[in-house]
């Protein structure tokens, strides 16, 4: 039986889906996580604790695990584990991206530098270092040009990403993001260098793809129909296929492939974020992992194969046949947290699920828990899933179902 190590951060939404995918592929699962969870406890010696914030140390633990009993693949399901997985896979001779390429996806400044070196269209940008004060921030803003977007280098999911339309706003954004990073030190290793880049107008899209020997196979192009103009960039609806003209979709695909080559990625899943303004396509970011949260559940291929199954089978070197999407159109809505406080109740679920086109609803935060919206927060309230004959139909189903939910939060 094949043996696969899944790198599952404690906060991931995706543990169950990847474990199910490994079971469908006939593989034995070993879980590597940053904390010993209930899942890990039940798996006995098929669980190991690793420190994702220190990739070299985590990789050494994975290599030692494989030496005790061989493994056939390593898969990092979220950003935190991708560097450790690449380094361990390289040492073990398993299918992998280069450590250098994967590390570049975790450092937005290095990503920008590589895109620039390979003429990949991207926003104008500058770096603000740890010791840079207010005067330097204002100078950078003047060089880049307003409006700007201020970002941490290593957080994901739009956490800590803030638009500023004036110098004072940029200074305030820098201070706010550094406070967020101080609370996320276990994810970032204490880094607080920031990226300041020119805001790019247009409609945002996402590309889900699989690299095989350096060739990109696009699995889905998602539109994000909600305007993502700031000051924060909370993503809500993803719908596929894209409604952009075929020539624009081709440009989106080509830009994504160019970005992957610029980073040096060659194997496994990628998730790219881009902006489309008329005929101009700009690459925002590219990650060496698949789409986050539970959003992958909106994709089914061939005879119902999940995205996680495709990723696991590729990592194990198993055949991949029908990668055509099962539904004409599908989509997901990441349910936003409207305000900080204690979650009291989510009502209207039956009405939401009963909306035509809705095929699933997952509320992922239990009542009684404290909730925090972006840019400080890193969680969504849950996920709505829909299918339909057109993207417009899917979007309408998601909006109707969301309107039927009532979220009660006690402010704190």
Does 330 score more than 90 pLDDT? Answer: yes
Phi, psi torsion values for 216, nearest 5 degrees: -90, 125
Residues of the chain with CATH 3.40.50.20: 3-103
- Could you report the per-residue pLDDT of 231-264, keeping only the tens digit for each? 988 889 999 999 999 999 999 999 999 999 999 9
Residues of the chain with CATH 3.90.1170.30: 329-412
CA distance 256 to 281: 10
Q: Please compute the mean of the pLDDT values over residues 334-357 and round it to a whole number.
A: 96
Give the pLDDT score at 192. 75
CA distance 211 to 284: 19
pTM of the model: 0.92
User: Is the CB of residue 95 less than 8 Å from the CB of residue 113?
Assistant: no
Report how far apart the first and last C-alpha atoms of the chain are (Å, whole number): 51
CATH number, span 329-412: 3.90.1170.30
Does 226 score more than 50 pLDDT? Answer: yes
User: Is the CB of residue 322 less than 8 Å from the CB of residue 381?
Assistant: no
Mean pLDDT (the chain) is: 92
b/e burial code for range 273-296 (CB count within 10 A of at least 16 → b): bbbbeeeebbbbbbbbbbbbbbbb
**Mean pLDDT comparison of 158-162, 277-281, 326-330, highest-scoring range:** 277-281
- Could you report the per-residue pLDDT of 184-207, keeping only the tens digit for each? 665 555 567 899 999 999 999 999
Which of 117-121, 231-235, 245-249, 311-315 bottoms out in mean pLDDT, i.e. has the lowest? Answer: 231-235
- Residues whose CB falls within 8 Å of the CB of residue 313, separated by 6 or more in sequence, listed in order: 25, 319, 320
Q: Please compute the mean of the pLDDT values over residues 285-311 and round it to a whole number.
A: 92
- Could you report the per-residue pLDDT of 353-389, keeping only the tens digit for each? 999 999 999 999 999 999 999 898 888 999 999 999 9
- The fold for domain 3-103 equals Rossmann fold (3.40.50)
User: In percent, how much of the chain has pLDDT > 90?
Assistant: 77
Does 27 score more than 50 pLDDT? Answer: yes
- Residues whose CB falls within 8 Å of the CB of residue 303, separated by 6 or more in sequence, listed in order: 322, 326
Cis peptide before 17 (omega within 30 of 0): no
Does 47 score more than 90 pLDDT? Answer: no
Superfamily of domain 124-198: ATP-grasp fold, A domain (3.30.1490.20)
């Amino acid at each position: 039986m094949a043996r696969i190590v899944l790198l599952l951060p404690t906060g991931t939404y995706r543990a169950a889906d990847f474990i199910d995918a490994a079971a469908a592929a006939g593989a034995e699962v070993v879980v590597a996580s940053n904390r010993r969870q209930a899942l890990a406890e039940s798996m006995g010696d098929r669980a190991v604790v690793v420190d994702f914030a220190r990739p070299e140390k985590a990789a050494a633990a994975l290599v030692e695990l494989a030496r005790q009993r061989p493994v056939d693949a390593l898969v990092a399901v979220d950003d935190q584990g991708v560097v450790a997985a690449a380094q361990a896979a390289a040492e073990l001779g398993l299918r992998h991206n280069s450590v250098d390429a994967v590390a570049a996806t975790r450092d937005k400044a290095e990503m920008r530098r590589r895109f620039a070196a390979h003429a990949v269209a991207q926003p104008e940008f500058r770096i603000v270092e740890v010791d840079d004060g207010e005067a330097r921030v204002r100078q950078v803003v003047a060089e880049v040009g307003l409006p700007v977007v201020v970002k941490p280098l290593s957080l994901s999911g739009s956490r800590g990403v803030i638009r500023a339309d004036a110098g004072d706003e940029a200074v305030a954004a820098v201070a706010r993001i550094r406070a967020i990073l101080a609370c996320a030190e276990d994810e970032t290793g204490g880094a607080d260098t920031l990226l300041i880049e020119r805001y790019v107008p247009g409609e945002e899209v996402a590309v889900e793809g699989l690299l095989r020997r350096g060739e990109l196979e696009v699995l889905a192009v998602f539109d994000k129909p909600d305007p993502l103009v700031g000051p924060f960039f909370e993503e809500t609806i993803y719908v596929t296929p894209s409604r952009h003209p075929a020539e624009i979709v081709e440009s989106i695909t080509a830009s994504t492939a160019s970005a992957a080559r610029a980073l040096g990625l060659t194997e496994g899943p990628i998730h790219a974020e881009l902006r489309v303004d008329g005929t101009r396509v700009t690459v925002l970011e590219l990650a060496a992992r698949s789409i986050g949260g539970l959003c992958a559940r909106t994709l089914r291929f061939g005879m119902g194969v999940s995205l996680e199954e495709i990723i696991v089978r590729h990592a194990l070197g198993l055949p991949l046949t029908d990668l055509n999407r099962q539904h004409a159109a599908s989509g997901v809505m990441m349910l936003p947290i409207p305000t900080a406080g204690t979650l009291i109740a989510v009502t209207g679920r039956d009405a939401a699920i009963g909306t035509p086109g809705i095929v699933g609803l997952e509320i992922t935060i239990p009542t009684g828990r404290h909730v925090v919206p972006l840019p400080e927060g890193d969680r969504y309230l849950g996920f709505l899933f829909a299918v339909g004959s057109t993207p417009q139909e899917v979007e309408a189903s998601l909006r109707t179902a969301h309107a039927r939910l009532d979220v009660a939060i006690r402010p704190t």
